[in-house]
């Protein structure tokens, strides 16, 4: 039984023979993370999940009074330090990638303003060089005519 039939409405004839798609592609809302940042994030998630599992085992061993409780608690403390380091690694990797591969340009971005100033300075320098070359050519052509006369 179709959804339209259950609601008591008639099925639309234009869509009667069109099969419904199981998977519909939607455009991404956010840009994809850079590869180094993504690998660091996956590494951090795996380490953090293993740390949580290890902490749970240490807790259960402590409740059971097992001899394994003390070594597990010690290793859980060490794993917590490593997991914290892994999360910081994601943050540092992201910052380094952003610095190396440029900042996101927004109208208020200082990087965009600096680029505009550099471009303007280059344009004026090129224009000044063209003008001085033009003046030199003109002087050479005049000097040649004057020496012949």
Geometric angle at alpha carbon 28, from 23 and 31, rounded to 5°: 145
Residue 122 lies in a domain: no
Tokens of 101: 């591969």
- DSSP structural state of residue 29: S
Residue 83 lies in a domain: yes
Residue 143 lies in a domain: no
**How many domains does one find in the chain?**
1
- Check: CB of residue 54 under 8 Å from CB of residue 75: yes
Beta-carbon contacts of residue 5 (< 8 Å; ≥ 6 apart):
11
Residue 74 lies in a domain: yes
pLDDT in 10s for each residue of the chain, 149 residues = 566 565 665 555 556 676 778 888 888 788 888 899 999 999 999 999 999 999 999 999 999 999 999 999 999 999 999 999 999 999 999 999 988 887 665 656 667 788 888 999 999 999 999 988 888 888 888 765 554 44
Containing structural domain, residue 87: 32-103
Distances (CA, A) of 131 to 8, 60, 119, 123: 81, 83, 18, 12
For the whole prediction, is pTM greater than 0.85?
A: no
Residue 14 lies in a domain: no
């Amino acid at each position: 039984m179709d959804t339209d039939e259950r609601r008591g409405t008639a099925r639309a004839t234009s869509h009667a023979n069109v099969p419904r798609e199981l998977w519909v592609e939607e455009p991404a809302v956010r840009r994809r993370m850079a590869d180094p940042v993504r690998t660091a994030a996956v590494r951090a998630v795996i380490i953090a999940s293993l740390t949580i599992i290890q902490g749970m085992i240490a807790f259960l061993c402590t409740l059971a009074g097992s001899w394994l409780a003390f070594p597990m608690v010690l290793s859980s403390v060490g794993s917590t330090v490593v997991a914290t380091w892994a999360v910081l690694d994601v943050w540092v990797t992201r910052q380094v990638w952003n610095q190396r591969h440029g900042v996101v340009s927004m109208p208020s971005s200082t990087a965009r303003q600096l680029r505009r100033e550099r471009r303007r300075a280059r344009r004026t320098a090129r224009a000044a060089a063209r003008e001085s070359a033009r003046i030199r050519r003109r002087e050479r052509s005049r000097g040649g005519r004057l020496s012949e006369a």
